[in-house]
A and B are shown apart, each in its own frame.
Chain A
Amino acid sequence: MSETATRLRGKDLLGIADLEAAEINLILDTAEAMKEVASRPIKKVPTLRGKTVINLFFEPSTRTRTSFEIAEKRLSADTLNIAIAMSSVVKGETLIDTAQNLEAIAPAIMVVRHGSSGACHLLARTCRAGIVNAGDGTHEHPTQGLLDAFTIRERKGRIQGLKIAIVGDLLHSRVFRSNILLLTKLGAEVWACGPPTLMPPGLERLGVHPTTRVEEAVEGADAVMMLRIQLERMQGGFFPSLREYFNVFGMTPERVRLAKPDAIVMHPGPMNRGVEIASEVADGPASVILDQVTNGVAVRMAVLYLLAGGGENEAAA
Chain B
Amino acid sequence: MKRLLKGARVVDPASGVDGIRDVLIDGDRIALVGTSIPAAAAAGAVIVELGPSLVVCPGFVDMHVHLREPGYEHKETVATGTAAAVAGGFTAVACMPNTNPVNDNASVTRFILKQASAANLARVYPIGAVSHGSNGEYLAEIADMREAGCVAFSDDGRPVATALLMRRALEYAGMFGMPVIDHCEDRSLAGEGVAHEGFHAAQLGLRGIPSAAEDVMVDRDIVLALATGGHAHIAHLSTAGAVRSVREGKARGARVTCEVTPHHFVLADESLREPLVYDTNLKMNPPLRGGSDRDALITGIRDGSIDVIATDHAPHHADDKRVEFDRASFGIVGLETAVSLGLDRLVHAGIIGLGRFVELLSVNPARILGVPGGRIAAGDTADITILAPDLAVTVSAAAFRSRARNTPFDGWTLRGGVAATLVGGRPVFANPGVPQTSGFERS
Contact = CB atoms under 8 A, between A and B. Distances in A.
A116 B327 contact: yes
A202 B325 contact: no
Contacts of B206: 117-118, 138-139
B324 A95 contact: yes
Nearest to A202: B199
A138 B323 contact: no
B204 A119 contact: no
A184 to B, nearest CB: 13
A139 B198 contact: no
B202 A201 contact: yes
A65 interface: no
Nearest to B327: A116
Interface string A83-104: 0000000000011100000000
B203 interface: yes
B72 interface: no
Nearest to B197: A201
Given A118-B278, A121-B277, 14 more contacts: A94-B323, A116-B327, A118-B277, A122-B324, A122-B325, A137-B326, A138-B207, A139-B206, A174-B205, A177-B203, A200-B202, A202-B198, A202-B202, A202-B203
A173 B199 CA distance: 15
Contacts of B325: 116-118, 122
B367 interface: no
Contacts of B202: 171, 200-202
Given A118-B204, A139-B204, A139-B205, A95 B197 contact: no
Interface in A128-171: 136-140, 171
B324 A116 contact: yes
Contact of B278 (A121, A174, A202): A121
A40 interface: no
B198 A116 contact: no
Given A121-B278, A122-B278, A201-B197, A116 B203 contact: no
Task: Choose among B205, B207, B326 the residue with the greatest number of A CB atoms under 10 Å from its CB.
Answer: B205
A185 interface: no
Interface residues of B, number: 18
B322 interface: yes
A200 to B, nearest CB: 4
Contacts of A205: 199
Nearest to A139: B205
A228 interface: no
Interface of B, secondary structure class, is: loop
A201 B204 contact: no
A58 B207 CA distance: 19
17 contacts: A96-B322, A114-B324, A116-B325, A116-B326, A116-B327, A117-B206, A117-B278, A118-B324, A122-B323, A122-B325, A138-B206, A138-B207, A200-B202, A201-B198, A201-B199, A202-B199, A202-B203
A119 B327 CA distance: 10
Task: Choose among A17, A118, A140 the residue with the greatest number of B CB atoms under 10 Å from its CB.
Answer: A118
Nearest to B326: A116
A197 to B, nearest CB: 12
A137 B194 CA distance: 13
Interface string B265-308: 00000000000011000000000000000000000000000000
Interface in A202-255: 202, 205
Task: Choose among A114, A116, A136, A137 the residue with the greatest number of B CB atoms under 10 Å from its CB.
Answer: A116
A195 to B, nearest CB: 16
A21 to B, nearest CB: 18
Contact of A94 (B198, B203, B277, B322): B322
A78 B277 CA distance: 32
Contacts of B326: 116-117, 137
Interface string B178-209: 00000000000000000001110011111100
Nearest to B198: A201
B323 to A, nearest CB: 6
Contact of B205 (A94, A117, A122, A202): A117
B418 to A, nearest CB: 33
A86 to B, nearest CB: 12
Nearest to A172: B205
B324 A140 contact: no
A154 B392 CA distance: 59
Contacts of A177: 203, 205
A138 B201 CA distance: 10
A136 B203 CA distance: 12
B164 to A, nearest CB: 25
Contacts of A139: 204-206
B278 A140 contact: no
A96 B327 CA distance: 13
Contact of B204 (A94, A95, A117): A117
A140 B205 contact: yes
10 tightest Cβ-Cβ pairs between the two chains A and B: A139-B205, A202-B199, A118-B278, A116-B324, A117-B205, A200-B202, A138-B205, A118-B325, A116-B326, A119-B324
A222 B311 CA distance: 54
Nearest to A96: B322
Nearest to B199: A202
A133 to B, nearest CB: 11
Interface string B321-355: 01111110000000000000000000000000000
A121 B275 CA distance: 13
